[in-house]
Amino acid sequence: MDEYFAAATAGPPVAARPPRRPLLLVSLLVVLALTVAAGAVRVSRARAAVGSPLHAVTAPATGGWGPTYVDDQGRPARWDPCVPIRYVVQPDWLPPTGRADIAAALGRLSRASGLTFLDEGDTHELPSRKRPAYQPQRYGERWAPLLIAWAPAGQTDLGLGKRVQGVTVAVAVPGKNGGSLVSGQVVLDASRPLPGGFGPGATEGEVLLHELAHAVGLGHVQDPTQVMYSTTTNSESEYGAGDRAGLAALGRAAGCHPAPAPKGVRG
């Protein structure tokens, strides 16, 4: 689960070099998997897990990019780039530019990664720590689509409010060829809206770029010139060289990566 914090009173961030702008937002990722290291919010279970266990990566990467999960062989969990990533939108608290910002952020993410995204329309489902990754009655015999939403802090238990601006939950399962990302949630705080668009400064677009990159497998980095740094910058929101390298490594250039079927999985 990734969270952005509004940090008006926070101390100076730890970084490879001083950031180019004041600390505005901080991000935290909470991840869910069939088998993960201690610290995950919830652990899903399968009757017959395949592949080595997945481990949540909690420390920011010192290099250009870092993954959200790795298995025992160090392979990062990723989506299958040969099929579209399906997503749904919770519309109840969308800001005026919300749909346009989602489309633009996914477009930038797609260009950097080669991943494709398929809009499956609106849902009344609320973001939740207990959201099942497999909901056959709602979405059919497949993994639940990525959920994108804005919500007030009181409408979700994912930890919005106070300094938390955005949250990402990434769901992964182990496999013979490394972990597979199969579902997730991205939610922004509707109680503290930021300016729409993509900058300069802290914007809804920048938060979306950061959170959506978490949803496709990127973790935090210590380089303040990257979108995946844990605080925002005052520059235009663009993926940096490290971000792009990570997205390429997790995307189409890495080849097809079929995910295990959800049968036998409990949310």
The pLDDT tens digits for 135-169 are 999 999 999 999 999 999 999 999 887 778 888 99
Q: Who's near 29: CB < 8 A, 6+ residues apart?
A: 1, 2, 3, 68, 168, 170, 214, 219, 220
Number of helices (H), then strands (E), in the chain: 4, 12
Residue 216 pLDDT > 50: yes
What pLDDT sits at residue 1?
55
Sorted by where each starts, the structural domains of the chain and their CATH numbers stand as 3-266 (3.40.390.10)
Q: Who's near 83: CB < 8 A, 6+ residues apart?
A: none
The pLDDT tens digits for 66-117 are 999 999 999 999 999 999 999 999 999 999 999 999 999 999 999 999 999 9
